[in-house]
Amino acid sequence: MGEPALSRRGFLAASAAAGLSITALSGCGGGSDGGSSGTTTLEWWHIMTTEPAKGVWASLARQFESQNPKVKIKIVALENEAYKSKMTALTASGKLPDIFHTWGGGVLKQQADAGLVEDLTDRTKDWAGTLLPVAKEPYLLDEKVYGIPDDIGMVGFWYNKALFKKAGIAAPPTTWSGFLDAVRALKSAGVAPIALAGKEKWPGMYYWAYLAMRTAGIDALQKAADSKDFTGAGFVEAGEHLKELVALQPFQKGFLGAAYSGPTGQSAAVGNGKAAMELMGQWAPTVERTEGKGLGANLGFFPFPTVEGGKGALTEVFGGGGGLALRQGAPQAAVDFLKFFASAGTNRELVKKTGTLPVVTAAEDALTDPNLKAVQAQLKATTGFQLYLDQAYAPAVGQEVNDSVAGLVAGSKSPEQVAQSITKVAKEEQ
Amino acid sequence: MTSTFLPDKRSGPDTAPPAPAGGPAPGRARRRVLHWLTAVSFQVPALALFGLLVLLPMLFALYASFFRWGGFGMPSDSIGADNFTRLFDDPVFLGDLWRCLVLVVFSLALQLPFALAMAVLLNQRLRGRAFYRMLFFAPYILSEVITGILFSMIFAPDDGLADHVLGGVGLDGIGGEWFSDPSTVMATVFLVMMWKYFGFHMMLYLAGLQSIPAELTEAAIVDGAGPWQRFRNVTLPLLAPTLRISVFLSVIGSIQLFDLVWVITAGGPDHHSETMAITMFQYGFKRYQVGYASAISVVIFGISLVFALAYQRFVLRRDLEGATTTMRGGGQ
Amino acid sequence: MTIGQKRRGRSLPLHVVLVAVGAVMGVPLLYAVFSGFKSTDQLSRNPIGLPDPWVSSNYTGILGSGDFWRMLGNSTLIAVGTTVLVVAVSALAAFSFARFAFRGREALFTLFTMGLMFPFAVAVLPLFLLLRSMDLLDNPLGVILPQAAFGLPMTIVILRGFFREIPAELEEAATLDGCGPFGFFWRILLPMARPALGTVSVLAVVGSWNNFLLPLLVFSQPDWWTIPVGVQQFQGQYSSDTARVFAYLVLAMVPALAFYSVAERQLVGGLTAGATKG
């Protein structure tokens, strides 16, 4: 869950951390419901705990405060996992922060169904048209708007051009069999073909999800979720293709215990040239630079290959982003803040300074990195969009997808068992 | 042993064993009520704190375990004992039980004997024993989080200290994956547990050893008993109460293990180091299946309780046997 | 002389064993200390040797940041608060358990000891809801009160055992001198029980100091984070800067180890009384 949190890892001088947390919190005495002096205090929970995003987001909050002298913003920035634990507990207690980070999809829907999230359909319709349609999709539930995006992206293969060349691979593969050939070629050239963070489960889920999109088709994923039946032939086939890949032993040493970030993690393995590629979202280049050395001009991107005989197309993408939602009954100032945060000016700053992809059409000119431009082009030309499965589905189902696919990758579950256990959990969820 | 306050020197028939038993005192009903009130008033703060912050959440967990509940609002979808039947059909939970058993066996077969050996060793007059005692015990007071992070770095594949040391002595074949390999993760976790907790048990034993009267050991020497016989027939029986506590704490600790494993592996890879408390946390905080998670917590509590009761009975019997053994040993 | 030599000869293998075990116990700690004195680059080039050159910026950077000191203060405040509360409340209850016979005593005592069987992690969600409804989130009391409540069973069990051993004659003498129950408790029992109180206090401090889950859930503001929470967050934030994480771990260990070296006697005494989870 929550991949994008990892997208902005970076170094942060200890002194800067101290300074920031002090400035970010200064003058935030009272509660969230406004003091006697007529100021409104908004509590804003997000997951940007690393630079540069942490600092940029804090300065944006200050900018908003200076434009709206009667509004104070109290930032609570939590590390990804801590944020999720806390949100679970807060959701159970029935009161969410005024403004909070969301990945949309099933989790947001549960919160909305419980009556905890503000319906923004009418309150944002004047300006929501400036946003990219694909970016808004995760927060559109039953045709109502429950969140405003600040980031969007897709998952694809990020690869090391030099290592591909060393293995004699002329061009990135576009079909699954071509992909398996490339893996074999890399292996025989003595290169670990793929880096995978087995400890965290969600990176493995990407393979199964993309394979299911390519074999069963993107509609089948939605249908399976609605009918609570993942046992269709396409899903089992997806598992079998993944099993083919696993059988080649393509992953780096110790991958089952590897984290995504950290000096021995998936991202560093690619960033330091120890593995040739990873299947990851748009934040991958940034993280490869902060966790490892980064690949510079050697870094390339190619979309997930198609599977021969499958229903999916190369232009159908899998991904997601980040957004902000409001608690039920949040004050107007919070809506104003969303408008400010989704404005072209703010978005341009985010694109330039934090390496995200633009969510506002007018901010596209701020994008300069060639790889990210390629991702952006792919996203705009997309013919189908599937949100991360662990976000799109109800949390229990999403976690079961992650969990059982991890079992498949570790060799303890068969493709049929994966399909069955996901179906079982989906049925238990009423 | 115990005295009671004067107004009720002769307490009622329903009072507990340590109090001197006596006949009812008819004319003192009022004083008895007063006495009761005095006694209970000392309990009020503890009872309030305990009732509100321990019992209430416990009872709520019990209540929630009979519902399908996602943690939103109050539980309303009652499903009887379904959560419990599902639990004993869940391969992950059954695996948790198995791993718990493995940990208990490892602890009893390796950790505690090792702790005992070290305690016997450090009970001798040896140069530097105070230092060793302190060093062996020190990990116990470090937090699980710090220990976990430290060892996940030490056992990092290839780059960690463990692999460098093994590589340095030409044993690189052994190392490698540690926490990453389903077949070695439990053993590695157990190593860390041993590093952290054996000193605690050693301290318990040391204290027990020091309370064994020297005359008994000397008498055994006079009787011509060798070191092993002395250990077997004098030390071990007299150490029985300490061993009993240590085993009890070790088993309860294994049943409830959470922090350390959570920080190091979060239960992975592929559930191979998952404990009951971790499964509970996963369901409660990641899958929003709070009713099911509550059922797990009820079962953890139940297992601990059943163990405690069974153990008490078993141990009481053993203690009596230990006493007779000692007498026989002394008589020889 | 001959006896001395003989003894030394016999104890040599024992010393070898001790040095070996000591190395296994000590090396991880020393490794962390030395790694903290390297830069991350140096650490990957020279993982097991002594630092060359010695880089102290990891340590000084953390010590100079203010965050670390604030967390130290928070951990201390919470540990002291928890300890005072749990010891005071438990002493009253243990006194009543040990020196009074009253209806319901055993049932009540059993109730408290059952608390020993209830793992903290299990109660955390309902506890969180409760704290929220009591408005105790982001408030040190939100950690102090539950910690004290969960510490009651162990503290009561130890103190009860100790209080029972104080001779009844003392109590009778005190009663003849006109002491009420509370007077006896306050003026005679507590001063006599100082060693036991010291022991349970140390145990409470250690338990509170190392608690992770509760402060993590209760405090969302970094202002209130305690050391274990801070360590975990720090590791998440600087995961690629290994040497700095090592330095942080070492600094986070220092207060606990320092406390241990001062309070060793009490701590060990408490364990002897059959205390704490293992």
Higher pLDDT, C175 or A140: A140
On whether both A357 and A411 belong to a single domain, the answer is no
Please report whether residue B309 resides in a domain: yes
CA closest to B179 among chain A residues = A257
Phi-psi sector, B178: left (phi>0), alpha (psi -120 to 50), beta: left
Which residues from chain A sit within 8 angstroms of residue B284, using beta carbons?
88
- CA-nearest residue to B278 within chain C is C121
| Token code pair at residue B25 | 């005192």
Cα distance from C20 to chain B (closest Cα, Å)?
11
pLDDT in tens, A305-360: 999 999 999 999 999 889 999 999 999 999 999 999 999 999 998 988 888 889 99
What is the pTM (predicted TM-score) of this model? 0.82
Spatial neighbors of B157 by CB under 8 A, at least 6 apart, are A253, A254, A257, A258, A264, B163, B176, B177, B178, B180
User: Which residues lie closer than 8 Å to A272 by C-beta, 6 or more apart?
Assistant: A292, A293
Evaluate whether residue B303 is within a structural domain: yes
Quick check: C128 and A18 CB within 8 A?
no
Q: Are the beta carbons of A302 and A156 closer than 8 angstroms? A: yes
ipTM of the complex model: 0.86
Total number of domains in chain B: 1
User: pLDDT tens digits for chain C (278 residues)?
Assistant: 444 455 555 678 888 999 999 999 999 999 999 999 998 888 878 888 888 889 999 999 999 988 899 999 999 999 999 999 999 999 999 999 988 888 888 889 888 888 877 777 767 878 887 888 888 888 999 999 999 999 999 899 888 888 888 888 888 888 888 888 888 888 888 888 888 888 889 889 988 999 988 898 888 777 889 999 888 888 877 777 888 999 999 999 999 889 888 888 777 766 665 433 32
Residue B109's Cβ-count burial label (10 Å; 0-12, 13-18, 19+) is exposed
CATH of the domain at A64: 3.40.190.10
Residue B23, pLDDT above cutoff 80: no
Specify whether A199 is located in the same domain as A288.
yes
Residues B147 and B152: their CA atoms lie apart, in Å, by: 9
Based on the domain organization, do A170 and A212 belong to the same domain?
Answer: yes
How many CB atoms within 10 Å of residue A338?
A: 24
Q: What domain range is B180 assigned to?
A: 82-316
**B5 is a domain residue:** no
For A270-291, how does the pLDDT look when each residue is reduced to its tens digit (9 = 90+)?
999 999 999 999 888 888 888 8
The two tokens of residue B6 are 């004067």
Confidence class for position A43, pLDDT limits 50, 70, 90: very high
Q: Looking at beta carbons, which residues of chain B come within 8 Å of C11?
A: 124, 126
Whats the size of chain A, residue-wise? 430
Confidence of residue A29 (pLDDT cuts 50, 70, 90): very low
pLDDT band, residue B2 (cuts 50/70/90):
very low
- Binary contact (B134, C256; C-beta < 8 A): no
Residue at B297 is within a domain:
yes
Residues A142 and A91 in one domain: yes
The helix or strand, by DSSP H or E, that contains position C144, with its residue range, turns out to be helix C141-164
Name which residue leads in pLDDT, B123 or A2: B123
B332 pLDDT more than 60:
no
Q: Which two tokens stand for residue B173?
A: 């074949």
| Distance (Å, whole) CA B8 – CA C100 | 9
As a whole number, mean pLDDT of residues B169-187 equals 79
Q: How open is the CA angle A313-A319-A321, to the nearest 5 degrees?
A: 150
- A76/C221 Cβ within 8 A: yes
In angstroms, the separation between the Cα of residue A2 and the nearest Cα of chain B is 12
Nearest residue, CB atoms, C222 vs list A21, A86, A259: A21
Confirm or reject contact between B241 and chain A (CB < 8 A): no
CA–CA dist A143, A103 (Å, integer): 17
- Calculate how close chain A gets to B181, using CA atoms only, in Å: 7
Q: Give the helix/strand (H/E) hosting A73.
A: strand A71-77
Nearest to A257 among B68, B159, B179 (CB): B179
Question: Is B146 part of any domain?
Answer: yes
Average pLDDT of every residue of chain A: 85
Q: How far away is chain C from the Cα of A292, in angstroms, using its nearest Cα?
A: 8
| Residue B62: both structure tokens together | 């019990």
For residue A335, what pLDDT is reported? 94
Q: Which among A199, A328, A412, A424 is the top mutation candidate for probing chain B, defined by the most B β-carbons within 10 Å of its own β-carbon? A: A199
- Decide: residue A239, CB within 10 A, 0-12 exposed, 13-18 middle, 19+ buried: buried
Tell me if B162 is assigned to some domain. Answer: yes
Closest-CA distance of chain B to residue C44, Å: 7
> What percent of chain A stands above pLDDT 90?
52
Question: A239 Cβ partners below 8 Å, 6+ apart?
Answer: A208, A211, A408, A414, A415, A416, A418, A419
* SS3 per-residue string spanning B275-301: CHHHHHHHHHHCCCCHHHHHHHHHHHH
Judged by a CB distance cut-off of 8 A, whether residue A91 touches chain B is: yes
A291 touches chain C (CB under 8 A): yes
Three-state secondary structure call for residue B98: helix
C118, C163, C182, best to mutate vs chain B, most B CBs in 10 Å: C118
Inside any domain, residue A379: no
Q: Give the phi and the psi of residue A46 in degrees, each rounded to 5.
A: -145, 180
Question: Is residue A20 located within the same domain as residue A109?
Answer: yes
Q: Are residues A331 and A418 in the same domain?
A: no
| C-alpha distance from residue A14 to each of A24, A56, C237 (Å) | 15, 17, 11
Q: What is the CATH number of the domain that holds B304?
A: 1.10.3720.10
CB contact under 8 A, A257 and B180: yes
Report how many domains make up chain A: 2
Exposed (0-12), middle (13-18) or buried (19+): which is B25, by Cβ within 10 Å?
A: middle
Phi, psi of B218 (to 5 degrees): -60, -40
Residues A180 and A73 in one domain: no
The whole-number average pLDDT for the span B164-183 is 77
Contact residues, chain C, for B124 at CB < 8 Å = 11, 14
Report CB contact under 8 Å: B161, C172: no
Contact A89 C128 (CB under 8 A): yes
Residues of B in contact with C245 (CB under 8 A): 149, 153
pLDDT computed for residue B176 by the predictor:
67
Q: Which domain holds residue A101?
A: 8-31+39-148+322-362
For residues A59 and A117, state if they share a domain: yes
Backbone φ and ψ for A314, nearest 5 degrees, come out as -65, -25
At residue B237, the pLDDT reads: 87
**pLDDT value at residue B74:** 77
Whether residue A121 is found in the same domain as residue A60: yes
The whole-number pLDDT of residue B119 equals 93
Contact flag A50-C237 (C-beta cutoff 8 Å): yes
- Distance between CA A342 and CA A48 in Å, rounded? 17
Task: For domain C67-277, give the fold.
Answer: MetI-like fold (1.10.3720)
pLDDT of residue A90: 82
B269: tokens are 């890879």
- Residue A389 token pair: 């499965």
Between A102 and A368, whose confidence is greater?
Answer: A102
The pLDDT of residue B109: 95
Structural contact between residues C10 and B107, judged by C-beta atoms closer than 8 angstroms: no
Cα-based angle B220, B221, B223 (whole degrees, multiple of 5) = 65
Contact assignment for C252 to B146 by CB distance below 8 Å = yes
Q: Is A71 helix (H, G, I), strand (E, B) or coil?
A: strand
- Residues A423, A284 share a domain: yes
Rounded to an integer, what distance in angstroms lies between the CA atom of residue C99 and that of residue C101? 7
At residue C272, the pLDDT reads 60
- Domain residue spans in chain C? 67-277
Q: Taking a C-beta distance cutoff of 8 angstroms, is the pair C277, B252 a contact?
A: yes
CB distance A379 to A301 below 8 Å: no
Going from the C-alpha of B103 to that of each of B193, B308, C191, the distances in angstroms are 10, 17, 42
Q: Poorest-confidence range of A249-253, B233-237, C9-13?
A: C9-13
Looking at per-residue confidence, does B84 or B290 come out higher? B84
Amino acid at C164: R
Report yes or no on A2 lying in a domain.
Answer: no
Q: Which of C71, C125, C141 to mutate against chain B (most B CBs within 10 Å)?
A: C125
Q: What pLDDT, on a 0 to 100 scale, did the predictor assign at position C278?
A: 27
Rounded percentage of chain A residues whose pLDDT exceeds 70: 91
Residue A27 pLDDT more than 60? no
Cβ-count burial of B20 within 10 angstroms (0-12 exposed, 13-18 middle, 19+ buried)? Answer: middle
pLDDT above 60 (res B163): yes
**Residue A2 pLDDT class (50, 70, 90 cuts):** very low
Q: A147: pLDDT confidence band, cut at 50, 70 and 90?
A: very high
Alpha carbon of residue C276 to chain centroid: 10
Does residue A368 sit within a domain? Answer: no
A305 in the same domain as A178: yes
Q: Which of residues 2-31 of A touch C (CB under 8 A)?
A: 9, 11-15, 17-18, 21-22, 25
Q: Write out pLDDT tens, residues B322-331.
A: 443 333 333 3
- The predicted-structure confidence for A5-23, as pLDDT tens digits, reads as follows 333 322 222 222 323 232 2
A262 shares a domain with A228: yes
The more confidently predicted of residues A258 and C90 is C90
